[in-house]
Copies of this chain bind each other. A is one copy, B any other.
Amino acid sequence: MREIEVVDIKKAILSENDDVAVEIREQLNNQGVFMINLMASPGAGKTSLVLKTIEALKGEYSLGVIEGDIDSLVDAEKVSALGVPTVQLHTGGACHLDAPMIEASLTKFDLAGLDCLIIENIGNLVCPAEFDTGSHLKVMISSVPEGDDKVLKYPLMFSVCDALIVNKIDYLPDPGFDLEIFSQRVRNLNPHIEILPLSCRNGQGVDDWVNWLKQRRQTAFLP
């Protein structure tokens, strides 16, 4: 009985969530703002990737960042220090961001002046995969030290994403991570995913990611 109750509530929440997500995407399309939802385990490198992306797109794109965190400001402070408009979302105990939370934070931005918004989701490979936040793209990071079996254990996240960033390739070679085996496992689940190996620490591969992002934004807003 307990389980059935929980599942019903979840379904109702997901359906409400999806309605809000559709509205958000319409609003962003009208304003020409391209939004990506960045998801990963704790410590995989979400904030580092946000900082590298800001650096690479400086002067070309006007960016904004939505920082999801349970209760600290550490990530928001790092991003804001680069002069990028940042909204910190404190979720209390919630382990994911949903569309209503994103809708509330959008009111804090001057959307007309933005080209791209990055959501840094809560560090979690489970629940964030289930919630459409209204973004145009879902991007996940998996990092070399986490091991190449994560795709077997958190399949939904790998299935729903448009791109998979493989961060911390500066740790390679590593006996727990075979990039070829890992990529094959991921493509078995999600044949169309873009796999982008890089290192936020030494910068290797960051250009490929940024070029892919720019291309996807251009395609989305083709007249």
**Contact indicator per residue, chain A 94-111, by CB within 8 Å of chain B (1) or not (0):** 110000100000000000
CB pair B2–A153 under 8 Å, yes or no, is: no
**Size category of the binding interface on chain A:** 35 or more
Q: Quick check: B43 and A146 within 8 Å, CB to CB? A: yes
- A53-100 contacts to B, CB under 8 A, are 69-72, 74-75, 93-95, 100
| Chain B residues, CB < 8 A from A94 | 126
Given the known interface contacts A2-B16, A41-B42, A42-B125, the answer about A153 and B70 at a Cβ–Cβ threshold of 8 Å is yes
The 8 A CB mask of A41-56 against B (1 = contact, 0 = none) is: 1110000000000000
In the assembled complex, A6 has its CB within 8 A of some CB on chain B: yes
Whether the Cβ atoms of A74 and B43 lie closer than 8 Å is no
Contacts A69-B153, A150-B43, A154-B42 known; A95 to B74 CB distance under 8 Å?
Answer: no
Q: Which residue of B lies closest to A43 (CB)?
A: B146
Chain copies in the assembly? 2
A165 to B42, CA, bound (A): 16
A7 CB → nearest B CB, Å: 8
Residues of B within 8 A of A72 (CB): 152-153, 155
Q: Are B123 and A123 in contact (CB under 8 A)?
A: no
Contact call B95/A95, Cβ cutoff below 8 A: yes
**Closest Cβ of chain B: how far from A97's Cβ, in Å?**
12
Q: Decide if A74 touches B153 in the complex (CB within 8 Å).
A: yes
B contact residues around A13 at 8 Å (CB):
2, 6
By a CB distance below 8 angstroms, the chain B residues around A201 are 175-176
Q: Which residues of B contact A9 (CB under 8 A)?
A: 6, 9
* A114 at interface, CB cutoff 8 A: no
State how many angstroms separate the Cβ of A69 from the closest Cβ of chain B: 6
